[in-house]
């Protein structure tokens, strides 16, 4: 009663006043510490934002962040505009890609320009070769973790409506297998795919061979060793007990060291760059590789976070790892691959800059809205909601830019396997971000909080957006890495439709079921079990959707292995970039 009287203030008796005063005096040191911690976090975010602003101004003065339209052309060689690059396409699909769209212009090159283009493509070949093995190692690890994580996720999904299934072993119980799924996806599939694509992109964006690849390989080994040890600890029941941060901090030391080594090629290759302007994809990747170690290190510091402050830190990290690591890596991929495939620079380079800096400035405190209704200062929650609303700016900037860039080129989706994944992933970024913005509002959070609706939203971002973009990027990159085309192009279409249909069932079912669950929990006239029973049909639909997604992942993994072993029909048309560059080969490369 003392706590109720103190917080509610409805009891006006003398005894309750005495109890309230004692309660306040007891909790005064804790309150001061909580206020100091939250003020410190916000002040640090402000300082970082101001620092970022000064870096932005400095970069403009040094002409590293050119905001003119010409900056969008830096990823193209002279004569490449109007000639799309699609390594995953078949000969028939390349014919479709060659079709002119209204307003599309393709320059007629002189003999001198053809010679220059051929020389630049030869340099690109060398750049691709410098990162081929590094990218292959990372992407191979990513595919393994994708399959293992999918099987763990499907197992945990079935247990939601069949809790007595596979309970003989402790590590197969829901509490552990679901956590294993989360950590494998968050620290296995997603980072390995991100680093694999980033290491491949850097030499192309900086027009120089990759420097420091051996550090990335060693870091990859340490990271995966730490992840295997961490997942083993979770399976054995050893956990730090915070979502996204379950692995013991002693094991995470390997991930921290491995992550630092994996980031070194970015630093070394930047120093050896042959370009004056850093394309926006470099900024996204560089920022992500800078932000993640800081986030992870602060979140995992032992004996530092306790009580309410620990919960605040938990969602500060949980949301920022999505918005400041996975999101920039995926956006960097879209900003490179989408223009390259259609052979057209991004429509507005200014919008790409606006999207980058507003993401950096506005995302830092978004995670606090997960604590709506919790024992945290109301102003902290309000600040988080405000920043969530402000996130509309970078999201709309990207969405408009993608739509305007694709305008007139949507017909290319019929012919380009890679483009389907990338464009759909970009659309899912818009949808997931806008949904997250409105989900942060107290009126919506009242219903959606603590329900399966939040799970659906999380998968919309990490799967619908990030994973779809990574699938597209891998389909583009692997023919260049292996000097070999995908042996069974029809499997790309099978993979696409399995994961799209499966995810649609998964997302729609959980969203509807989660909302009904929230409404049932708010109805005081209904017993709690009603809020459980109402979700059962939708949890079964989740399993159906998850099964299709897992099947799609198995198709993808099987196709990846077949390509790595060079098993199946020999197809080297689009991979000619690695087998000799001539003027005629340039046309086959470009699909033009």
Instruction: For 311-327, write each residue's pLDDT tens digit.
Output: 899 999 999 999 999 99
Mean pLDDT of the chain: 85
| Per-residue pLDDT at 47 | 61
| Per-residue pLDDT at 206 | 93
Is-contact 273 206, C-beta < 8 A? yes
Q: Is the pLDDT of residue 342 over 60?
A: yes
| Per-residue pLDDT at 583 | 38
In this structure, of 91-95, 165-169, 355-359, 462-466, the range with the lowest mean pLDDT score is: 91-95
Is-contact 385 369, C-beta < 8 A? yes
Q: Regarding predicted confidence, which is higher, 307 or 134?
A: 134
Residues 6 or more apart in contact with residue 436 via CB below 8 angstroms: 366, 388, 391, 457, 461
- Burial pattern 142-170, b for ≥16 Cβ within 10 A else e, equals bbbbbbbbbbbbbbbbbbbbeeeeeeeee
Among 135, 102, 364, 81, which residue's Cα sits nearest to residue 262?
Answer: 135
Instruction: Count the Cβ atoms, other than its own, within 10 Å of residue 256.
Output: 17
Query: What percent of the chain has pLDDT above 90?
Result: 61
Query: What percent of the chain has pLDDT above 70?
Result: 83
- Burial pattern 566-589, b for ≥16 Cβ within 10 A else e, equals eeeeebebbbbbbeebeeebbebb
Q: Is the pLDDT of residue 29 over 60?
A: no
| Per-residue pLDDT at 68 | 56
Tokens of 362: 């506005």
Q: Regarding predicted confidence, which is higher, 126 or 110?
A: 126
Residues 6 or more apart in contact with residue 289 via CB below 8 angstroms: 198, 263, 266
Residue 81 phi/psi, 5° resolution? -60, 130
If you compute the radius of gyration of the chain from its CA atoms, what whole number of angstroms results? 25
Tokens of 425: 């992933």
Domain ranges of the chain: 34-590
Specify which of 64-68, 454-458, 567-571 reaches the highest per-range mean pLDDT. 454-458
In this structure, of 9-18, 274-283, 531-540, 563-572, the range with the lowest mean pLDDT score is: 9-18
Residues 6 or more apart in contact with residue 506 via CB below 8 angstroms: 456, 459, 541, 542, 545, 546, 549
Q: Is the pLDDT of residue 580 over 60?
A: no
Class of domain 34-590: mainly alpha
The verdict on pTM exceeding 0.85 is: yes
Q: Is the pLDDT of residue 445 over 60?
A: yes
Mean pLDDT calculated for residue range 394-420: 93
Mean pLDDT calculated for residue range 433-450: 93
Q: How confident is the model at residue 582 (pLDDT cuts 50, 70, 90)?
A: very low
Residue 141 phi/psi, 5° resolution? -60, -40
Is-contact 397 429, C-beta < 8 A? no
Q: How confident is the model at residue 32 (pLDDT cuts 50, 70, 90)?
A: very low
Handedness of CA 50, 51, 55, 58 (dihedral sign): positive
Tokens of 166: 């596979």
Q: How confident is the model at residue 448 (pLDDT cuts 50, 70, 90)?
A: very high
Per DSSP, the residues of 37-89 read HHHHHHHHHHHHHHHHHHHHHHHHHTTSS--SGGGGGTTS-TT-TT----TT-
Mean pLDDT calculated for residue range 586-591: 38
| Per-residue pLDDT at 4 | 33
| Per-residue pLDDT at 317 | 94
Q: Is the pLDDT of residue 198 over 90?
A: yes
| Per-residue pLDDT at 112 | 74
Q: Tokens 């990859």 — which residue? A: 220
Q: Is the pLDDT of residue 204 over 50?
A: yes
Mean pLDDT calculated for residue range 409-417: 92
Opening angle at CA 10, ends 6 and 15, nearest 5: 65
CA dihedral 17, 18, 21, 24 (to 10 degrees): -100
| Per-residue pLDDT at 396 | 92
Per-residue pLDDT of 253-290, as tens digits, reads 999 999 999 999 999 999 999 888 899 999 999 999 99
| Per-residue pLDDT at 95 | 84
Tokens of 564: 């790595």
Compute CA 190 distance to the chain's CA centroid, rounded to the nearest angstrom: 7
């Amino acid at each position: 009663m003392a706590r109720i009287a103190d917080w509610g203030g409805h009891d006006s008796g003398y005894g309750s006043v005495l109890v309230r005063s004692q309660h306040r005096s007891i909790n005064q040191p804790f309150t001061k510490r909580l206020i100091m911690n939250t003020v410190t976090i916000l002040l640090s975010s402000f300082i970082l934002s101001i620092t970022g602003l000064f870096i932005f101004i400095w970069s403009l003065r040094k002409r590293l962040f050119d905001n003119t339209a010409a900056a969008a052309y830096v990823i193209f060689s002279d004569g490449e505009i109007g000639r799309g690059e699609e390594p995953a396409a078949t000969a028939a699909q390349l014919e479709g890609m060659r079709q002119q769209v209204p307003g599309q212009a393709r320059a007629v090159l002189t003999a001198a320009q053809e010679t220059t283009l051929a020389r630049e493509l030869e340099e690109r070949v060398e750049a691709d070769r410098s990162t081929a093995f590094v990218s292959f190692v990372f992407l191979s690890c990513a595919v393994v973790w994708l399959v293992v994580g999918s099987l763990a996720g499907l197992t945990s999904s079935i247990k939601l409506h069949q809790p007595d299934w596979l309970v003989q072993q402790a590590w197969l119980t829901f509490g552990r297998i679901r956590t294993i799924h989360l950590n494998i996806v968050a620290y296995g599939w997603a980072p390995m795919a991100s680093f694999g694509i980033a290491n491949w992109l850097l030499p192309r964006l900086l027009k120089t061979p990759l420097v420091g690849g051996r550090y990335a390989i060693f870091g990859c080994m340490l990271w995966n060793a730490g992840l295997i040890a961490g997942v083993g600890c979770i399976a054995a029941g050893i956990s730090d007990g915070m979502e996204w941060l379950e692995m013991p901090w002693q094991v995470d030391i390997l991930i921290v060291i491995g992550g630092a080594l994996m980031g070194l090629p970015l630093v070394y290759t930047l120093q050896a760059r042959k370009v004056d302007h850093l394309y926006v994809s470099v900024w996204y990747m560089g920022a992500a590789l800078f932000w993640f170690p800081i986030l992870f290190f602060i979140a995992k510091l032992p004996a530092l976070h306790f009580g309410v402050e620990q919960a605040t830190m938990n969602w500060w990290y949980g949301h920022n790892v999505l918005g400041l690591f996975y999101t920039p890596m995926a956006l960097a991929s879209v900003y490179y691959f989408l223009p390259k495939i259609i052979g057209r620079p991004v429509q507005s380079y200014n919008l790409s800059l606006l999207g980058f800096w507003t993401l950096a400035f506005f995302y830092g405190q978004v995670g606090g809205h997960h604590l709506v209704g919790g024992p945290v200062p109301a102003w902290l929650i309000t600040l988080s909601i405000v920043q969530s609303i402000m996130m509309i700016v970078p999201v709309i900037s990207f969405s408009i830019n993608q739509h305007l860039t694709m305008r007139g080129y949507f017909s290319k989706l019929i012919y380009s396997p890679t483009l389907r994944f990338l464009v759909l992933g970009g659309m899912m970024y818009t949808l997931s971000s806008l949904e997250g913005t409105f989900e942060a509002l107290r009126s919506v959070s009242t219903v959606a909080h603590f329900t399966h609706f939040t799970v659906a939203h999380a998968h919309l971002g990490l799967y619908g957006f990030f994973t779809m973009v990574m699938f597209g990027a891998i389909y583009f990159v692997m023919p260049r890495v292996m000097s070999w085309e995908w042996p069974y192009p029809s499997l790309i279409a099978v993979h696409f439709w399995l994961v799209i249909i499966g995810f649609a069932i998964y997302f729609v079912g959980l969203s509807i079921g989660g909302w009904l669950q929230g409404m049932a929990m708010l109805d005081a006239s209904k017993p709690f079990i009603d809020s459980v029973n109402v979700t059962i049909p939708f949890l079964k639909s989740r399993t159906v959707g998850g099964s299709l997604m897992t099947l799609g992942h198995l198709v993808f993994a099987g196709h990846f292995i077949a390509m790595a072993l060079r098993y199946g029909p020999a197809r080297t048309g689009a991979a000619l970039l690695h087998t000799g560059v001539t003027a005629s080969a340039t046309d086959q490369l470009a699909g033009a």
